[in-house]
C-alpha cells in the first residue's frame, strides 16, 4: 500500500484525536514541505473551482411546507447540487456486486484493552459474541450464549483459564468444548452437543479482528494492513467509543469535513466557524470494495506547496487518512489517521480511532497525558451525538433512500453520496442498509430491543454493569464513562487513581482541621489550616479530573 497524504503540524498529536478532518484546519508551516506518493493509481489533478452560491437548495412548495429533495433542479441550482440519478439509473440499470457481510473482517476491539480477568460481551450487527483471554493469554471468541439455558457467557467469569457460565457453572475450553458440568453424576460423560459456536479472530497491528462467517474459511488477505504502523518510531494514540447511532451514520459523519468548523467550533484552536466554506473533491478510484480521492478547501487551491487531503474508504467499514511530511532538516515523517467502525446493532456502533506518527512530541505536548486527549475526543463525539441520532431516527421513520431526503451539495457532500451509492452496490448482502437509491430495513425494528425485557437483558448484561443498573456504572449510551472509559484500560485506571487520591486528600484535610482546632499554638494552627486548604484544593482537582472523564459535554448556548 502506498502512503497517502494527510495533515500534521507541531500540534498534530493533540488535534488528531479531536478532528477527523483536522488537516484542513491546521496551519501550514512555511518550514514544512509536503510530498506526494509516487503511485500510478492516483494522479493529483485538482478539479476547477466550483462556483458556489448561497442559494443551495431546491425548494418544492406545497402549502407552507418545503421539501429539500433535489429533483427537477432549476438552472441556477444545477451547479450546486450533486445529481441524484446517473445515466444508468435513468435507464433503469444499477450496478450490483456480490457481497456477503459475514465474509468480512470486522474490528472487534483494541487488543491492549481486552480484560485479562473477565469475558467481554460485544456485537457485530445482531450477532452477540464473547471475547476473552484463556489461561495462556490467547484470545478466544464464542457466540455469547450458553448451550444449557441461553445465559450470556459474557456474564460469566474466567476460572482456571476456562470460561465459566455463572448460571450453573458449565465451563468451556478455548475450542468451545464443555469440559465441566457440576450437576452431572460422577461417572457421566459430558454430551458432545454441550459446546459453543466459535468465531475466528486475529490480532493484527493492535486490533482484534473477527471473521463472521461459519460457512466460508477466513480470508486472511482481507484483513486491512496499515503500512505506517510498522514504521520505525511510529507511535499512536488510540481510543474506542460506543455510540448510539447506526454505523452508516457514523461513517457519513467521519467522511464529512464540512461540518467540523461549525459543529466543533472552538473545541480547539483549529476549529473555527469563520473558516467554514466551500470544498473541492476529486474521486480517483471506485471499486466494489470502496472508493478513494482528494479533497481540500477551495480557497487553498493554487497556493504554493499546497497539498490536498486524501481519503480512502474500504469495505466493510474502514476509513483511513495518511500523509508524508518532510521537515526543515529533510527528515521524512509519516502520519496516519484510522477510523475502524463496527456495526453493533441497529442504531448502535462502536468506533476505534487510531492516530499516530513518527514525529516525536515536542514542547508542552510531551507533558499532556493521554487521558486528557481521550476525554477531549469524547467531547467531539458528544458534540455530534444529538443531530446524528436524530438523523438515524428520521431515516427509520421515512423508510426511503437517502436521495429522497438528502440535499447533497457538490461543495461539501461528495463523499457522503459516494458512500451511499456504494451501499446501493452491496446493500443486498447486508442485514439492512440505507442506500442512495435503495433501502432494506431491519426485519426486527430497533424499538423491540428497548422493550422492558430487552432493555434489562441488553443493558444489565453488558460491561460494566454485569448484573445491575445504577449510578455511574449504568450502561447508558449517553454516559461518557459507559461509552469510552469502561472500554479504555488507561482511562479506567486514571479514574480509579483520581478517586483514591480524592478520598485520601479529603481524609487528610479532615484530620488536619481537627488538629488545627485542638492545638493552641498559632503557628501550628496556621500550618495545619494551610495543609487543609492544599488538601481540599487537591481533592477538588481530582473531582474535576473525574468529571472530565465521566461527564458529557453540554453546549453553552443551551440553558439547562
392, 348 contact by CB (below 8 A): no
Residues 41 and 287: beta-carbon distance below 8 Å: no
Q: Which of 485, 529, 484 has its CA nearest to residue 510?
A: 529
Q: Which three three-digit cell numbers place residue 221?
A: 488477505
Residue with cell 422493550: 451
Whole-angstrom CA distances from 50 to 68, 80, 381, 419, 426 are 21, 8, 30, 21, 31
Strand partners, 124: 127
Q: Residue 533: enclosing H or E segment and its boundaries?
A: helix 522-550
**Environment class of 424 (CB within 10 Å of its CB; exposed 0-12, middle 13-18, buried 19+):** buried
- pLDDT of 491: 92
Q: What are the extents of the domains in the chain?
A: 115-200, 224-440, 488-558
Rounded to whole angstroms, the Cα distance separating 419 from 435 reads: 8
Res 268: pLDDT = 73
What pLDDT does residue 171 have? 96
Dihedral sign for Cα 522, 527, 528, 532, please. Answer: positive
Averages of pLDDT over runs of 10 residues in the chain (560 residues) are 39 44 37 34 30 30 46 61 71 81 96 91 92 93 94 92 94 94 92 94 95 94 89 87 92 92 81 86 93 88 77 94 75 85 91 86 78 90 88 90 91 93 94 93 64 60 67 72 89 94 96 92 92 96 93 72
Instruction: Please determine, looking at this structure, whether the domain spanning 224-440 carries the CATH number 3.90.1150.10.
Output: no
User: What is residue 158's predicted lDDT score, i.e. its pLDDT?
Assistant: 93
How many CB atoms lie under 10 A from the CB of residue 500? Answer: 11
What pLDDT is recorded for position 71? 53
- For 31, other C-beta atoms within 10 Å of its C-beta total 8
Sign of the torsion angle spanned by Cα atoms 83, 59, 57, 261: negative
Pairing of strands 157-159, 139-143: unpaired
The answer to whether 115-200 and 224-440 have equal CATH topology is no
Q: Tell me how far apart the alpha carbons of residues 164 and 146 are, in angstroms, rounded to a whole number.
A: 9
**Which is it for the CA torsion 539, 541, 546, 550, positive or negative?**
positive
| Cα–Cα distance for residue pair 156/196, rounded to 1 Å | 14
Confidence at residue 27, expressed as pLDDT on a 0 to 100 scale: 31
Which segments within 165-211 are labelled E, that is strand?
A: 171-172, 178-180, 200-204, 207-211
Task: Using CB atoms within 10 Å of the CB of residue 96, give its burial: 0 to 12 exposed, 13 to 18 middle, 19+ buried.
Answer: middle
DSSP for 10-44, written as a single string? TTHHHHHTT-TTGGGTSPPPTT-EE-----SS---
Q: What are 83's three cell numbers?
A: 445529481
Q: What is the pLDDT of residue 66?
A: 53
| Helix, strand and coil percent figures for the chain, each rounded to 5 | 35, 20, 45
The predicted structure's pLDDT at residue 3: 38
Classify residue 521 as left (phi > 0), alpha (psi -120 to 50) or beta.
Answer: beta
The order of strands in the sheet holding 207-211 is 105-110, 207-211, 200-204
What span, in angstroms and rounded, lies between the C-alpha atoms of 376 and 386?
A: 17
C-alpha grid cell, residue 344? 453493533
Domain covering 115-200, topology: Rieske Iron-sulfur Protein (2.102.10)
Amino acid at each position: 500500500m502506498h502512503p497517502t497524504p494527510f495533515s500534521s503540524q507541531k500540534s498534530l498529536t493533540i488535534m488528531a484525536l479531536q478532528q477527523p478532518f483536522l488537516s484542513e484546519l491546521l496551519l501550514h508551516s512555511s518550514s514544512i514541505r509536503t510530498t506526494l506518493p509516487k503511485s500510478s493509481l492516483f494522479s493529483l489533478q485538482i478539479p476547477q473551482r466550483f462556483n458556489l452560491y448561497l442559494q443551495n437548495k431546491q425548494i418544492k412548495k406545497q402549502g407552507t411546507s418545503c421539501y429539500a429533495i433535489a429533483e427537477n433542479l432549476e438552472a441556477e441550482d444545477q451547479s450546486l447540487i450533486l445529481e441524484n440519478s446517473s445515466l444508468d439509473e435513468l435507464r433503469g440499470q444499477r450496478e450490483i456486486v456480490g457481497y456477503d457481510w459475514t465474509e468480512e473482517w470486522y474490528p472487534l476491539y483494541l487488543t491492549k484493552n481486552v480484560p485479562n480477568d473477565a469475558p467481554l460481551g460485544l456485537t457485530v450487527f445482531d450477532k452477540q459474541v464473547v471475547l476473552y483471554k484463556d489461561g495462556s493469554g490467547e484470545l478466544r471468541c464464542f457466540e455469547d450464549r450458553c448451550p444449557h439455558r441461553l445465559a450470556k457467557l459474557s456474564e460469566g467469569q474466567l476460572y482456571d483459564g476456562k470460561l465459566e457460565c455463572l448460571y450453573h457453572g458449565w465451563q468451556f475450553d478455548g475450542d468451545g468444548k464443555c469440559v465441566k458440568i457440576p450437576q452431572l453424576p460422577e461417572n457421566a460423560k459430558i454430551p458432545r452437543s454441550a459446546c459453543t459456536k466459535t468465531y475466528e479472530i486475529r490480532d493484527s497491528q493492535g486490533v482484534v479482528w473477527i471473521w463472521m462467517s461459519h460457512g466460508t474459511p477466513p480470508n486472511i488477505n482481507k484483513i486491512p494492513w496499515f503500512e505506517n504502523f510498522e514504521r520505525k518510531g511510529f507511535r499512536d494514540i488510540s481510543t474506542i467509543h460506543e455510540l448510539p447511532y447506526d454505523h452508516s451514520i457514523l461513517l457519513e459523519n467521519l467522511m464529512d469535513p464540512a461540518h467540523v468548523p461549525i459543529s466543533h467550533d472552538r473545541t480547539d484552536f483549529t476549529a473555527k466557524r469563520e473558516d467554514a466554506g466551500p470544498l473541492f473533491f476529486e474521486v480517483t478510484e471506485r471499486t466494489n470494495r470502496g472508493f478513494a480521492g482528494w479533497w481540500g478547501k477551495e480557497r487553498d487551491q493554487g497556493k504554493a506547496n499546497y497539498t490536498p487531503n486524501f481519503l480512502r474508504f474500504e469495505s466493510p467499514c474502514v476509513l483511513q487518512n495518511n500523509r508524508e511530511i518532510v521537515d526543515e532538516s529533510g527528515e521524512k515523517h509519516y502520519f496516519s489517521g484510522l477510523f475502524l467502525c463496527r456495526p453493533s446493532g441497529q442504531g448502535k456502533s462502536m468506533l476505534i480511532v487510531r492516530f499516530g506518527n513518527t514525529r516525536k512530541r515536542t514542547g508542552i505536548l510531551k507533558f499532556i497525558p493521554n487521558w486528557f486527549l481521550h476525554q477531549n475526543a469524547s467531547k467531539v463525539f458528544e458534540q455530534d451525538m444529538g443531530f446524528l441520532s436524530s438523523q438515524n431516527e428520521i431515516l427509520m421513520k421515512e423508510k426511503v433512500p437517502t436521495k429522497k431526503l438528502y440535499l447533497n451539495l457538490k461543495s461539501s457532500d461528495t463523499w457522503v453520496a459516494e458512500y451511499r451509492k456504494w451501499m446501493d452496490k452491496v446493500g443486498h448482502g447486508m442485514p439492512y442498509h440505507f442506500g442512495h437509491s435503495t433501502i432494506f430495513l431491519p426485519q426486527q425494528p430497533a424499538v423491540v430491543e428497548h422493550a422492558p425485557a430487552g432493555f434489562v437483558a441488553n443493558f444489565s448484561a453488558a460491561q460494566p454493569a454485569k448484573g445491575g443498573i445504577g449510578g455511574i456504572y449504568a450502561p447508558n449510551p449517553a454516559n461518557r464513562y459507559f461509552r469510552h472509559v469502561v472500554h479504555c484500560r488507561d482511562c479506567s485506571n486514571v479514574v480509579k487513581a483520581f478517586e483514591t487520591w480524592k478520598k485520601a486528600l479529603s481524609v487528610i484535610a479532615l484530620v488536619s482541621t481537627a488538629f488545627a482546632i485542638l492545638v493552641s499554638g498559632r503557628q501550628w494552627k496556621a500550618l495545619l489550616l494551610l495543609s487543609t486548604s492544599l488538601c481540599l484544593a487537591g481533592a477538588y482537582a481530582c473531582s474535576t479530573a473525574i468529571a472530565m472523564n465521566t461527564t458529557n459535554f453540554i453546549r453553552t448556548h443551551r440553558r439547562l
